[in-house]
Structure formats: structure tokens, C-alpha cells
Amino acid sequence: MSTHVQISGAEEAFSKQASSFDKIDFESEIIKQMRLRVYAHTDRFLKKCSSILELNAGTGIDGCHFAEQGHSVLATDVSEKMLAQADLKIRSRELSSKVKTLRNSFQELDKLGTEKKYDHIFSDFGGLNCAEDFKEVGKHFRRLLKPGGHVTLVMISPFCLWETSLALKGNFRLAFRRFKKGGTPSLLEGVHFKTYYYWPKHLQRGMGEGFELKALEGLAVLAPPPYLEARFKNRSGLLKQLFAIDDIVSKWPVFSLMGDHFIATFRYNP
């Protein structure tokens, strides 16, 4: 499968989900808790009034959050329908001076030019797991970042403790799907595309020289991943306890790489 076909498939899938994306996000307590963890992590590396380049911005949930904290955001996404939802959100919150949207694929970062450099590059919830070769994305970061700037990537992990444990119930297809070489077939809104998994070392290698891993933590290590939300619908107390434990163990070595996702922040020191 060519990169063009791969990205087109992902674009079609997420475009179909654009109108319902915010509703899914709002109704999920698990996603809400995961997003709060992402913000807490990222805030540690954002200086006052940072300029942020967001990749795979979706419907603008994160871009609006950062704008409300006083930062300026260029929110990019390949899906026109996702960005249409983002624009509605930006206008309704009166954030047009802080958040600009641009239809641009992470595979075409060369189109962003060289005149603008950012304090931070941010991508949330596995958007870059659609990249067949992360190097083709990461190689642009040195050109786009200011010296001393940071990159925060929230990636779907190659290993998920919850998912792998499903082998104990005989669900081997789901338990080992992330171990497949050459990417894992994914299905969203009736559209097929592939998901690729990267360890932090692969991300660092793909960005090239000058990037240092500064922080790493897991998301949904002991707390369940979003697709298990239905099992915890009437067990909010247990869910809160699991997330409280997750806040601690997710930062430990080894455990940081056992979640449904991980958050990795790198500092650029040219």
C-alpha cells in the first residue's frame, strides 16, 4: 500500500467521523481523563505565550485548550471536514486571534515554508500512527522548531497491557494485533487503513540529531483504554481509582511503555 493511499484512507475515515467526533469525546470519561493527563504533561514544557504547531488537529479540541491558556496555535489536519468543525469551535469561543487552521498533511510539512519557527510541535492521540515511515515526518521538525523548543507526541503504543491480557480470554486477534510487522489493518467508519507503531527511540531517530527525550509516561496503563468504556459505564468509582493509580505508575520505567498510548516530549538542542 502506498503512502498516498494510506493517508487517503485515514483522511476518509476521520472525515466521516468529523460530525460525531466531539460527541464521542465528550461522552467518554476515559478519553476525558486521558486528555487531562496529556495537558498536565505538555504544560510542563510550554513557556508563556508559546507558538504551537499542531499536527492532526482534528476538530480543534486541543488547539482551543492551548489558546485559552494564552498560546497561539497553527492547527493543521488533512481532513477538510475536521477543520470545518474546528473553525466552528474557534469562532464560537472567540479564539480566532489565537488559533489558525490550515489544511495540510503531516506528510507535506515542507509546504509550511521556512519563515516561521515554533516553540512547540504537538500531536495528540495517535494521529502520527498513520505515518508509514515516521522519519518522513520527523525530518522536518528541526526546520520548524526554535532552538530549545519541544515536541510532544501522544502515540498509540506498540504494547498495551490491557490489550495483550485479552489472550487469557482467547481473543488472540486483538491481543496481538500490535505485533504485526508492516502495520496493523484498522477499520473506522467502514474505511480500511493501516496503523503503525513506534517506540520513543524510533521517534527520536526519525527526528534526527539534536533531539533529547525529556519526559515519557503511559496513558491507560492500568486504567482501561477507551474501547473498553462500556464495561465501566456503571463503575465510575473503580474507574477513578484506576486513573489515580495510573497517574503514579505510568511514569515508572517499563510501565510508561505498557499503556494504550504514551506521551513523549523531546527537547531540540541544535
Q: Report the mean per-residue pLDDT for the chain.
A: 94
Measured distance CA(82)–CA(125) in Å, rounded: 15
Measured distance CA(139)–CA(216) in Å, rounded: 21
pTM value is: 0.94
> pLDDT tens digits, residue range 253-266?
999 999 999 999 99
Top-level CATH class of 3-268?
alpha beta
Grid cell 488533512 is found at 78
Question: Three-state SS for 204?
Answer: helix
Do you know the residue count of the chain? 270
Read off the pLDDT band of 2 (50, 70, 90).
very low
**Is pLDDT above 50 for 5?**
no
Measured distance CA(128)–CA(190) in Å, rounded: 20
| DSSP at 213 | E
